[in-house]
Structure 1
């Protein structure tokens, strides 16, 4: 399998500072959103409560693996952010604690449906559509056609010029895998993935890394959630963001309390803050563009209008089940190994 990238030195330094003093922390949170939002949420919650919390950023699949490994003696109180189907999997494995949050009645219908689906173990905090983005300057320099569909990405013209996450660690990439299965059917989806693999230059650990690399010109095309690409475009990068012509999937990012949490009351307080307009506003304040789940929260001005994007009827229950996730990941690994 192609190499998995590591976090940049800057992120590593941030993580060291964010986790300093963990022993004295009154709450331990694993964060599955962008590093900038993790930092903003930590700062806002500490300012509101006067508490010192430990906030560590990890990819969604890695968070689930850690919570599994620590089931007998959890060191984590809250899992905040990351794709909802992975939270559903954690709930189905009895790793998460049911909780009725204070702002549940203010949630938009898709978030209320997700909460019910989770059995009250996970609450939706944001939504975002999947897509890809290409570097317009690099495309022009290489004199290549602009891709508009998923199937365009298998063109030999893009050989070694596409970057994607690894679904074993990245919730974004697992959403991509599940989306393709739902769009094309499983057999055609895996034929597509085998063809796409010939054009992939690298599989990354973090789901936002591909569009960040495209923004820097390190690769031509990055597959990721569209809001992550919007954030890079706002920062001045020459990205063109694409909602694939065949349709696409979406995520519901979630927050959950870990079963056996050492600081259960503070964990509940954090969940309430994460679902409040104030807590959700930390996303836009840190340059993020997801659609917040609280109807009273302000929508980021640059957030993609998901009502205008052709969406699959994403089956969170099926693709959030441990058996289906494990089966698809095993098949993905086999296909990628066979075509490398």
Structure 2
């Protein structure tokens, strides 16, 4: 009896200790807003949580504009801790609204300059870059006698009439990237003259940035203006497309990470941002993206366009934000007649 009582007492004490330790050992729940494709969120989460088993990520995935509106609505009671994989153009705009907490991760200075914010401490840290490209269907082009464009200006040639699909800049950040980059490069008058001619050749302005490349992949149109995220995936699946970056450089955006002002878990948020700036993380990113922030590991997945920073146009993100509303208002007035119906 004594031995049984002793064992019972020991078991009860153990249970008490375990019960007391439970809450202390509970994982930190980190809410992370992202625009990244769901296919990459799972491997990113698995790698991070393997390195940091005391933190559990909950993803909230949506478009950049929706995330911005959500953060504004939640300003008084923030729900998110971190933005991860959100275009830098969105983060800069969010910072202007006072929604971003500056933070410099541990390996920040090991990133390429283009992936580093000019502010000190930085508002954002770059993860990977995507480029605006031309998806060109080689089979249909040969049938129709259509040459590959070598520059953006070539797309205004009447030979491409009815052969181009492009993202609607009022619906797609990628679409807006095309427009503001051409205006910054050519100047206002020449850019709108080019856009007028391009409009004659465009069959449809799509709501999604990936759709034009899908149209090119199926041969519905010879040319789809899209990104080097969609193009390599379709080409690897067997689509008869070439992925072209015109010689006069191209628009881009950098998917970045930042801390949300008022995060309920700032220390855990810093751990995720530190991981996002690490070589280990960028080696993982490079399995899905051709151009990542850490120098020397820009191989990328099959058919990707490596070292995108060398092909990216030098332009002002701040200018693109300052001028977004008047540019899109003018664009819609001129060209919205060829836009796909807005989805509900």
- TM interval, short-chain normalised: 0.7 to 0.9
In 2, distance between residues paired with 1:296 and 1:148? 28
Match of 2:178 in 1: 176
1:48 to 51, 75, 79: 51
Residue 312 (str. 1) matches residue 316 (str. 2): no
TM-score for the superposition, normalised by structure 1:
0.79
Q: Secondary structure at the match of 1:333?
A: helix
C-alpha distance in structure 2 between counterparts of 1:203 and 1:154, whole Å: 16
TM-aligned CA distance change 1:41 to 1:94, over 3 Å: same
SS at match of 1:241: strand
* Residues 93-143 of structure 1 deviation map (CA, whole Å, 9 limit, x = unaligned): 21111112121121112223xx22485111111234332121112222333
**Hey, what's the Cα distance between the residues in 2 that align with 1:202 and 1:33?**
25
Larger radius of gyration: 2
1:167 is paired with a residue whose SS is coil
Distance in structure 2 (CA, Å) of the matches to 1:264 and 1:143: 58
Structure 1 residue runs of 5 or longer lacking an equivalent are: 1-23
RMSD of the TM alignment (CA)?
A: 2.9
**How many angstroms apart in 2 are the aligned matches of 1:263 and 1:253?**
22
Once the two structures are superposed, the pairs formed by residues 68-217 of structure 1 within 5 Å of their partners are 68-112=72-116, 115-117=117-119, 120-217=122-219
In structure 2, the partner of 1:10 is: none
Q: In structure 1, how many angstroms separate the alpha carbons of the residues matched to 2:267 and 2:204?
A: 42
Deviations 1:240-288 (A, max 9, x none): 1222243323322211122222332222221112111222233233xx2
Q: Which residue matches 1:290?
A: 290
Q: CA deviation at 1:218?
A: 4.2
Cα distance in 2, alignment partners of residues 69 and 220 from structure 1: 42
Q: Distance in 2 between matches of 1:209 and 1:281?
A: 28
Q: Partners of 2:335 and 2:289 in 1: how far apart? A: 32
Q: How far apart are the structure 1 equivalents of 2:227 and 2:57?
A: 28
**CA gap 1:282/1:328 in 2 versus in 1, 3 angstroms:** same
TM-score normalised over the length of structure 2: 0.78
Give the corresponding residue for 2:18: none
The whole-number CA distance in structure 2 between the counterparts of 1:176 and 1:238 is: 24
Residues paired across the two proteins, number = 310
Structure 1 position 163, deviation (Å): 2.3
